[in-house]
Amino acid sequence: MQEMAKTQFRSFGIKVPTDWRQPQGNVAARQYSEAFSAQERAVPPLPMPPALFLAASSNKYHTDTQKKLSDQFTAYIDGICGAICSAWSQWQRAATLVGVSINAMTASGGQVVGPPWMPLIMASAPMSSPMEVKYSTAIALAIDTGWTAYQASIKVPGLPWYPAFAAFPAPVAPPTPNVPVPVAALAQVTAPISKSALMMSMIANFGDPTALHQRELFDSIADAFEKCFQTWQTTTQVTNVMGTGPVPSFAPPLVPAGPVLGGVGIMAPGGFT
């Protein structure tokens, strides 16, 4: 996620100092030339990558600004992305899927329950300055709000999770794990954690349109989160949803097996693997 966010940030090609223009006209150009030594006017800027910003010129003061801002933003992006990924991992270990309805082999409904993200993110987010606290709070709140809405939308859309329950030879089917499927197979509404939704939420939470490079930073974090989420959807499996339920028609020897009806499924924490 860190590298995705930094790659996105570089794509904006931000030059620093912002709005600087080479002096025009003979007098202005001569004054600029005389204000700095030849060595100060010819300092090689940092390449991009690894730099996140472009130097407006080879003037030492411009290349110094490029290095300072690149170092600051690189450290912040690494820190906030690390905090988000740590929170994601903690959520995944703690989250459960409960209240799944089972009829025969088919599972449907259910609800995902997991801890809120904001305190998990803020536990390790960069907060070494008041501005970092403000940025981290805006990002953490946006992701927490978006993920809470996304999580509430997740349902099992009638999947054949329990083949043995179509005709089970007992009065009650014992706890049985579901057939694993990727998270992408579940019904879900992802709009709350889309790049555009997260970015606009971060900007609103931050509440300072005059802050330099905030839109690019929020865009980069939201873009990286969305890309990681799309990968997570397809690579994370829904496992160990333990299903059980009665077999009302079981009546041996005339009816030696029957379908589970009115069964339930519950996942213990750790089932998203």
Burial 36-71 (b: 16+ CB within 10 A, else e): eeeeebebebbeeeebbbbbbbebbebbebbbebbe
Q: What is the pLDDT along the chain (273 residues), one digit of tens a residue?
A: 999 999 999 999 999 988 777 766 666 666 666 677 888 888 999 999 999 999 999 999 999 999 999 999 999 999 999 999 999 999 999 999 999 999 999 999 999 999 999 999 999 999 999 999 999 999 999 999 999 999 999 999 999 999 999 999 999 999 999 999 999 999 999 999 999 999 999 999 999 999 999 999 999 999 999 999 999 999 999 999 999 999 999 999 999 999 999 999 999 999 999
DSSP state of 180: P
Looking at residue 180, its amino acid is P
